[in-house]
Amino acid sequence: MSIDFKDNPPKGLIWFHRDLRVNDHAGMNLVLESGGRWIALALSPRNPLSPAGCFERECLDDLEASLKLLEIPLLRLESTEVESFIRNVFHANPDLALLTSRRFNSRDQKLLDSCTSVLPKKQITLYDHGTLYLESDLPFSLDGLPATFSPFQRKIRAAKTQIVPPISGFSLPEISTNGIAPVELQDRSFRFRGGERNAILRLRDYFWESRAVMHYHETRNGLLARDDSSKLSPYLAQGCISARQVHAEILRLQDQIGPSKGAEALLYELEWRDYFKFLALRSGDRLFSAQGLRNEERESSPDQKQFERWCAGETGNDFIDANMRELKVSGWMSNRGRQNVASFLARIMKLPWLWGASWFEENLSDFDVETNQGNWMYLAGVGTDPRDRIFNPDLQAENYDGDGAYRKRWSS
């Protein structure tokens, strides 16, 4: 795509970062209010041919289609290209404005800082729409963030901290399914179709057509069915839909049918997501260190061949192997599976937990930096939780795959 930055300079750039949507988007509201010519940019998938990369590409395709209706072109750049691109555009347009979302982890923040170092701070606007709760509304400072999730949740609820409602914005054209579901089981793996439109369809289906959300607390550990869990996490991870929009649907459901244990359990998981983001803000580079947050490194043996067996689903434990094969083929793994394979790598195989976290980053369609690192640290025993948990995969298989149907699905 050829963009004229010199003779027809844009008013500014809007950098989409894990918020690939136009609704409930603070930056898009600013663009629509300000008028003028804007250019959008986003990072290209790192592994475009993987299931996760294909999903992300579909999310970008959908965003590009929405922006085209507003005559805003979308540039897709490699992470290594962004800094020089912004620098060159700024030199051609010294008054350039940059809009982008707040970063919650130090790795993303360092990339943003390096890319925007040439811009005066007054020309950079950060919007904060990545969490249910705003940091400024929390009843404690980041330094006072509780060490574990339960007291975090108790304190925000005791203080009656308000969840930020979605903001109105650009309306998408009428959504047509054409008979294709946003999430469906194909052969033996789940197929997620990317983009904001599919995210809205999945939300509508889960809450209002199947009403499966009402049973989320009972089914969330299921391994086989599409509606065992919400299957919203890939859309949340890419920001095709916001946690605030999901919460708004929870409120609508409560208005119509009253309290729902399933919806309350889903809200619980969204608050966990918030907790990990605030924890990442407080933790800085420790989020990516072997010592984690407890400043103690667990004994590990960096055996590459053993790690490759884990990645390939060839450890010899049929429950672990089934989950790892599903991940490789589909880019998806259940929450129950993730806990087990992470515990198995870090605590039983005694491999470096950062290796496992990186493998998840490469392969998960719903990869979220803060949640991924936070969960891996917890399961490796270097997070904030003092409990020393090790999952017994044989007992877990008996409890959650008693008839062996899941293991049979992924037996080869």
The pLDDT of residue 1 is 56
Q: Which of 94, 80, 95, 97 is nearest to 40 (CA)?
A: 97
The first and second tokens of residue 359, run together, are 């493998």
Q: Residue 353 in contact with residue 346, Cβ under 8 Å?
A: yes
As a whole number of angstroms, the distance between CA 210 and CA 5 comes to: 49
The pLDDT of residue 169 is 67
As a whole number of angstroms, the distance between CA 293 and CA 399 comes to: 31
Q: Which helix (H) or strand (E) holds 288?
A: none
Q: Is 282 exposed, middle or buried (0-12, 13-18, 19+ CB in 10 A)?
A: middle
User: Could you tell me which CATH class the domain 154-163+174-284 is placed in?
Assistant: mainly alpha
Q: What is the DSSP letter of 42?
A: E
The pLDDT of residue 173 is 64
43: three-class secondary structure by DSSP: strand
Q: What is the pTM of this model?
A: 0.96
- According to DSSP, the β-strands at 38-43 and 189-192 are unpaired
How far the first Cα of the chain sits from its last, in Å, is 43
Q: If the chain, 412 residues long, is cut into consecutive pieces of 10 residues, what is the mean pLDDT of each piece? A: 70 97 95 92 94 97 95 95 93 94 98 96 96 98 95 97 88 70 93 96 95 96 96 98 97 94 97 98 96 83 96 98 98 97 97 97 97 96 83 97 98 84
The pLDDT of residue 389 is 83
Q: Is 305 exposed, middle or buried (0-12, 13-18, 19+ CB in 10 A)?
A: exposed
User: Could you tell me which CATH class the domain 289-409 is placed in?
Assistant: mainly alpha
**288 phi and psi angles, rounded to 5 deg:** -115, 15
The pLDDT of residue 4 is 65
The pLDDT of residue 297 is 72
- According to DSSP, the β-strands at 189-192 and 183-186 are antiparallel
Task: Report, at the CATH architecture level, how domain 12-128 is classified.
Answer: 3-Layer(aba) Sandwich (3.40)
The pLDDT of residue 231 is 98
The b-or-e profile of 61-97 (16+ CB within 10 A means b, else e) is ebbbebbeeeebbbbbbeeeebbebbeebbeebeebb
Task: Let me know how long the chain is.
Answer: 412
Domain boundaries, the chain: 12-128, 154-163+174-284, 289-409
The pLDDT of residue 387 is 74
**15 phi and psi angles, rounded to 5 deg:** -100, 110
As a whole number of angstroms, the distance between CA 141 and CA 145 comes to: 6
The pLDDT of residue 295 is 80
